Structure 1
Amino acid sequence: MATRVLQRFIMPLDKDPDVLPLYVDPEAIVLDADKDTVGGDKSAKALNAAASRQSTSTGAKVAVEDVLGRHAFRVREGQELSFGTYFNGFAAGYWRRWTVVDAVTLDVTLSGAGAHVIVYRSMANGRSQKVDDAVVTGDAETTLSFDLPLVPFQDGGWYWFDVIAGAADATVTAATWSAEVPDDRAASRTATVGITTMNRPDFCAALLESLGADEDVLAIIDRVLVMEQGTKKVADDAGFPAAEKALQGKLRVIEQANLGGSGGFARAQLETLRAGESAYVLFLDDDIICEPESILRAVTFGDLARRPTIVGGHMFSIYSRADMHSYGEVINRYRFWWQSAPTVLPNWDFGNRNLRSTRWLHKRIDVDFNPWFMCLIPVEVMERIGLGLPLFIKWDDSEYGVRAQAAGFPTVSLPGAAVWHVPWTDKNDALDWQAYFHQRNRFVAALLHSPFKRGGRMVSESFQHQVMHLMSMQYSVVEMRHQALLDVLEGPGKLHADLPTKLGEVREMRKQWQDADLQGDPDAFPSPRREKPRKRDMDSDVPGRAAQTKMKLIGAARQFKGVRALSREFPEVALPAMDAKWYRLASLDAAVVSMPDGTSAAFYQRDPEQFRAALKKTVEIHKRLLREWPALAEQYRAGLQDVTSQEAWARTFGIEEAE
């Protein structure tokens, strides 16, 4: 047996006050209500869910100047601080379930006479208890050690430590969580980092430089591959020379056609397998800020996993940096739709309610996949199940997780490993050209993996969404989704062939529709005008189920009536993106609608003739999908191995002869 460090105590690289709550916490524990106490009453549960999001912060702050370095922090005289935080707590439940580790040792090195270190643990229900403590007796730097079993963490729970300074300041200069592991797992294996980039040279260059900033992180990286697919090259960015130097000869930029995220990440998989030097490929998005320690933690966790395991990181908002946007993702198999795991509350602000006060964060969250903004995949997994699907964007990561899971390879979204990224809620991908890929790729994934007859709710839900888009005057979205389903019906044979061309085709198709004509100038469209004012102001509240059902009937009936004449020239309202729901748009003949990213708006106009033609088409396509589903599913499943093979991808990259 040998000793291996599992996790190091860290402080933020940039000393940004917004991220400090993820590293050190001055607040007390104010635990939210237990679900068993709340009971099953729907109103009580709703009130408790709202209450659990309320801030418990007292306004206590940690002084930025007390961050003394990457691994050092000062606790002021008489001050009590907790390191039971996202990046410095130890997620014992995950190590207990997924790795060979059965006990850990916490070593805390600090100075300051009278400094008191207290070790706590939590249970899966969030309740915490003191485990051990020790006091520094002299002025010299002292290392306090605590042996901690992982046996009681079957369902979840964390370890952490607090520091109470005595009559003098206390300075923590190091802390590690380590374990005795088999000799053949003592040394860290290595990874190839794969970054797909498309016209984000500044972001990408900064990310590259951060990877080379930590010698320990750089030591476990064999290669950093940048799949350059844009016209604004990362190599031309002012920050690139420094990034290249920091990576000490390990950087390789591969220029290729724009094949989307799936084409970029599959290239990283293929190059990693061909090189034969790395145990893992690590995917990173190009528009992230990465906590470099996350890479060390992911690789260490992968090295010590009971079986080859995909290890993913979590996602914080790049705009509100203590706000956790994605914590654990699963696939609802009946709908075949991605969503947060059942007990996860997304968009969680650690600045408002800390880890120790939040029950749901202590239960272990098991996932079906981890998005590829940060995801570590073992070579053994790729050799067994192949590379990603050629889907351009959307669903390649989730399909891969489901495919790996079926082959016996789990995915773990590891607390303490994370990046900062633009939240999905701030993007416009359900209405712009990406709507095609959402629709097509979701159906491809369901045909491959749905355990339900004819895909469960897939076809009926798709039809309902088409009708809602039609009622919303989003005719371009409907047509793109039509084309997506028609392409699905052609089978898997065209997926590789379409990869370099489909984006251009979809964008050209979308140009034909008025609702896709986005304008950034606030004066691009006329001001709203109606012949008669509305009898009631448009309600911004969300209507109940009965009201929505009524609106569906009214909205459908209106498509057989003419439009108000003035609406051909003027919008009737201007709706912000947050209010532009189908049940509001269905009552209008024209509207200026803002896009979710806040950069532009479009002029929607109701067209009853277009509605009826599109509705007829969508009925025909969905009937055909239901009829052909069994044979189509068999066709996709039979073709999966070939479509995801190294040989198929090499042909798509045009490198089968070169190497």
Structure 2
Amino acid sequence: MTSIQFSSVLLEKNSRSLSYPSLYCRATGDVVEDKIDGAWLLYDKGTYDFSTYFNSLSVQKLQHYTRATKYVLHLELKGAGLTVQQTKGGVFSAHPEPVGEPRALPANDEWQTMDIDLHIDHDAVIVGFIFETEGRVALRNSYYALEVEGDLRPVELALATTTFKKESYIKRNIGLIKGNILAGTDDIAKHFHMYVIDNGRTLDVDELSDEHVTIRPNENVGGAGGFTRGMLEAMGQKTPATHVLLMDDDVAVSPESIKRTYNLLRILKDEYADAMISGAMLNYEIGEDQWEDSGYMSDAGAFRPAKPPLRLTQFEDVVYNEAFKIPKDIRPEQRYSAWWYCCIPTEVIREEGLPLPLFVRCDDGEYGTRCRRELITMNGLCIWHMAFNLRYNAAVERYQTTRNTMIAQCTTGFAKRSDFLQELHHNVVLELKKFAYANAELCLDAFEDFLKGPKFIAQPGAAEESFMRANRNKEALVSFDELQQQAESLHIDGFDVSQITRQLVDGDRPRTISQRLQDYVTDNGQRLMKTEGRGYAVIPMIGWVYPAGVIRGKKYLIVIDWYSKRGAIRTKDVDAYKRIARRYSRDLRYYKRNIDRLRTEYAAARDELTSVAYWKHYLQMD
């Protein structure tokens, strides 16, 4: 048997822990950092419950995926007397359930240690512990230890992050890695390297690099190119990495998540040695909300989270998050792990090839479904990322997503069950109904670039230029002051930007069956029964929103990006609608005549586009 310190009892002092302390500890008293003693003070007499997202132990998954045979809670404490009660969470647990008898520890001004063998019931999903204190107690160096059958796996972990002119985010994360992982005494410090692929070439290489952190200036090749560069660097280092952890730059991360990932890799069963570890995305703005914990492609061709939204300060959601079983209608070949936090064995990369040169969007989805490996998720393995609705970009969602999903499906068989042609049709019609003619044309730009075949995407520089073109061609937003001026020049009676409220922007109204049918047949009065429209409506800028009731029959739509305080005015234009409809029909005819040839050409290009030789040339590494 081998013993391993698997996960630390985690308390942090940052904006998330201060705003959402129940991610760490539910307490009736204050929990305060003692900077002098390097400990945490449970400041008052009371109850301190560590059966939480970060401080419970996911025993059900550990039993399933790892060789762990015994679980021990190690505590170091001093101060007032207290009792320690082991808890568990079962599938039907609404609150932490006590397990066994509480253990008492008398008051002492010197540090005391306590090791508790944890009892694992047959229905335990997670286990944790609760303190009942008689006064102030200090806590330090506490953790869950596991006894493991056999030797620990040798792991060389490389972290690869791609950045483009987001210096504040990346410098903060480098500092966290250096201060909490590389400067520590844990085993990971000797088997870890961080690669920062700087697509913007704005970071100071000499200032930030050291023996364990490499800043690599790179051409602007998007996330796909940057992460591929990280993979190549990891596999080519002096002691080749066994695993590469891909992580976005504009995220907040707890170093403890990385440590737990490393420890998990060391104790996996043989049948899960090639699994990918997928970290959850929590909402950067609402830090207790989980946005996605692995995803999948729907049959309709949309990216979807595999789990429903969860609030991870709630005990029942913490349990649900671990007990969740992927529904049978989500096929394994449709699932993926997003690259905001995804750990991939380098042996899998050697077997399956490198990513496709897609620049941004769908690169992670394509790669995950291509590799078809087990996806391991676990409480405490996560990052905080800005929610997608806060950073909607039509150049990404209408151009990149449309083009890349079609390319990926033809090249590597990505999401075979998904109908991306139907998704294209849905998006084009949706944008036309909302008079978003520029964004509808982005969909067709993407479709036509897909129709050019693999030679187009294979050209170095083509992906960046096409994305820059899409950003130039997307609908332009202006400040609220300029928006008011535009409304006045168009004689839009009654519009006053100072009176805009969130309620107005997000509002809608119901439609009758006959109104719904009319809107469907006429695309909001732009075909067959053409109408000029009257008045205006205020709607959100986000592309997938369809406030059908308020937009019907209008001449102007004033779109608002609430978060950037910018907007645009769309004017109903039947001529523009007809031009785009004709273009779409022409593209569909070409697609139907040539799709078999295109599928053959894309499939034939797969080996080249995912090869080391191709990527080294693409990245100018040869």
Q: Deviations over 1:11-65 (max 9, x none)?
A: 1143751142211112xxxxxxxxxxxxxxxxxxxxxxxxxxxxxxxxx6x5253
Residue 382 (structure 2) pairs with residue 414 (structure 1)? no
Aligned position for 1:53: none
Residue 101 (structure 2) pairs with residue 136 (structure 1)? no
User: How has the CA–CA distance of structure 1 residues 380 and 150 changed in structure 2, closer, same or farther, with 3 Å as cutoff?
Assistant: farther
Read off the aligned partner of 2:621 and give its amino acid letter.
Answer: I
Deviates more, 1:478-487 or 1:70-79: 70-79
Read off the aligned partner of 1:294 and give its amino acid letter.
Answer: S
Aligned position for 1:470: 432
Residue 177 (structure 2) pairs with residue 235 (structure 1)? no
Read off the aligned partner of 1:318 and give its amino acid letter.
Answer: Y
Aligned position for 1:288: 251
Aligned position for 2:419: 457
Which residue of 282, 290, 298 corresponds with 1:324? 290
Residue 305 (structure 2) pairs with residue 340 (structure 1)? yes
Distance 2:93 2:79 in 1: 31
Judge conservation of contact 2:338–2:365 (CA < 8 Å) in 1.
Answer: yes
In the TM superposition, what is the alpha-carbon distance from 1:490 to its structure 2 partner? 3.2
Read off the aligned partner of 1:7 and give its amino acid letter.
Answer: S
User: How has the CA–CA distance of structure 1 residues 641 and 415 changed in structure 2, closer, same or farther, with 3 Å as cutoff?
Assistant: farther
Which residue of 32, 56, 63 corresponds with 1:89? 56
In the TM superposition, what is the alpha-carbon distance from 1:518 to its structure 2 partner? 2.1
Read off the aligned partner of 1:315 and give its amino acid letter.
Answer: M
Which residue of 426, 438, 444 corresponds with 2:390? 426
Aligned position for 1:159: 127
Judge conservation of contact 1:112–1:136 (CA < 8 Å) in 2.
Answer: no
Judge conservation of contact 2:246–2:340 (CA < 8 Å) in 1.
Answer: yes
Residue 3 (structure 2) pairs with residue 20 (structure 1)? no
User: How has the CA–CA distance of structure 1 residues 174 and 264 changed in structure 2, closer, same or farther, with 3 Å as cutoff?
Assistant: same
Aligned position for 2:500: none
Judge conservation of contact 1:281–1:377 (CA < 8 Å) in 2.
Answer: yes
Which residue of 556, 569, 581 corresponds with 2:546? 581
Aligned position for 2:370: 403
Distance 2:295 2:261 in 1: 17
User: How has the CA–CA distance of structure 1 residues 69 and 428 changed in structure 2, closer, same or farther, with 3 Å as cutoff?
Assistant: farther
Q: Deviations over 1:154-184 (max 9, x none)?
A: xx71111111113x32332232212222453
Residue 579 (structure 2) pairs with residue 613 (structure 1)? yes
Q: Deviations over 1:309-348 (max 9, x none)?
A: 211222222223333332332232x22432111xx332x4
SS in 2 for 1:614: helix
Read off the aligned partner of 1:328 and give its amino acid letter.
Answer: S
Distance 2:415 2:285 in 1: 39
In the TM superposition, what is the alpha-carbon distance from 1:66 to its structure 2 partner? 5.4
In the TM superposition, what is the alpha-carbon distance from 1:517 to its structure 2 partner? 2.3
SS in 2 for 1:281: strand
Judge conservation of contact 2:301–2:422 (CA < 8 Å) in 1.
Answer: no
Which residue of 477, 485, 501 corresponds with 2:462? 501
Task: List aligned pairs for 1:268-287, cutoff 5 A.
Answer: 268-275=230-237, 276-287=239-250
Distance 1:483 1:309 in 2: 37
In the TM superposition, what is the alpha-carbon distance from 1:274 to its structure 2 partner? 1.9
Q: Deviations over 1:442-495 (max 9, x none)?
A: 22333333575xx55332232122111111111222222112222223333432
In the TM superposition, what is the alpha-carbon distance from 1:511 to its structure 2 partner? 4.2
Residue 184 (structure 2) pairs with residue 209 (structure 1)? no
Which residue of 197, 217, 224 corresponds with 1:255? 217
Unaligned runs of 5+ in 1: 27-59
Q: Deviations over 1:354-392 (max 9, x none)?
A: 234666334145583221112211111111111111110
Aligned position for 2:5: 5
Judge conservation of contact 1:124–1:364 (CA < 8 Å) in 2.
Answer: no
Aligned position for 1:644: 610
Aligned position for 1:33: none
Distance 2:409 2:462 in 1: 24
Distance 1:481 1:221 in 2: 45
Residue 303 (structure 2) pairs with residue 302 (structure 1)? no
Distance 2:509 2:384 in 1: 31
Judge conservation of contact 1:433–1:507 (CA < 8 Å) in 2.
Answer: no
Judge conservation of contact 1:459–1:626 (CA < 8 Å) in 2.
Answer: no
User: How has the CA–CA distance of structure 1 residues 116 and 510 changed in structure 2, closer, same or farther, with 3 Å as cutoff?
Assistant: closer
Aligned position for 1:44: none
SS in 2 for 1:257: coil
Aligned position for 2:523: 555
Unaligned runs of 5+ in 2: 327-331, 496-503
Q: Deviations over 1:91-126 (max 9, x none)?
A: 222222222224322222223454111111112344
Deviates more, 1:627-636 or 1:515-524: 627-636
Distance 2:132 2:353 in 1: 52
Distance 1:116 1:531 in 2: 69
Distance 1:162 1:149 in 2: 15
Read off the aligned partner of 1:404 and give its amino acid letter.
Answer: C
Aligned position for 2:478: 519
SS in 2 for 1:482: helix
User: How has the CA–CA distance of structure 1 residues 203 and 538 changed in structure 2, closer, same or farther, with 3 Å as cutoff?
Assistant: closer
User: How has the CA–CA distance of structure 1 residues 458 and 144 changed in structure 2, closer, same or farther, with 3 Å as cutoff?
Assistant: same
Distance 1:509 1:296 in 2: 40
User: How has the CA–CA distance of structure 1 residues 320 and 284 changed in structure 2, closer, same or farther, with 3 Å as cutoff?
Assistant: same
SS in 2 for 1:305: coil
Distance 1:486 1:304 in 2: 48
Judge conservation of contact 2:505–2:538 (CA < 8 Å) in 1.
Answer: no
SS in 2 for 1:17: helix
Deviates more, 1:371-380 or 1:548-557: 548-557
SS in 2 for 1:526: helix
SS in 1 for 2:74: strand
Aligned position for 1:147: 117
Distance 1:613 1:521 in 2: 30
Q: Deviations over 1:586-643 (max 9, x none)?
A: 5322233123642422221222122112112223434554565555445434432321
SS in 2 for 1:648: helix
In the TM superposition, what is the alpha-carbon distance from 1:185 to its structure 2 partner? 1.0
Distance 1:194 1:371 in 2: 14
Distance 1:451 1:438 in 2: 13
Deviates more, 1:411-420 or 1:525-534: 525-534
In the TM superposition, what is the alpha-carbon distance from 1:263 to its structure 2 partner? 0.6
Aligned position for 2:406: 443
**Percent of residue pairs bearing the same amino acid type:** 18
Judge conservation of contact 2:522–2:530 (CA < 8 Å) in 1.
Answer: no
SS in 2 for 1:81: strand
TM-score by length of 2: 0.85
Judge conservation of contact 1:390–1:495 (CA < 8 Å) in 2.
Answer: yes
Distance 1:392 1:64 in 2: 45
RMSD, aligned α-carbons: 3.3
Which residue of 107, 124, 133 corresponds with 2:74? 107
Judge conservation of contact 2:291–2:305 (CA < 8 Å) in 1.
Answer: no
Distance 1:66 1:259 in 2: 43
Distance 2:396 2:156 in 1: 38
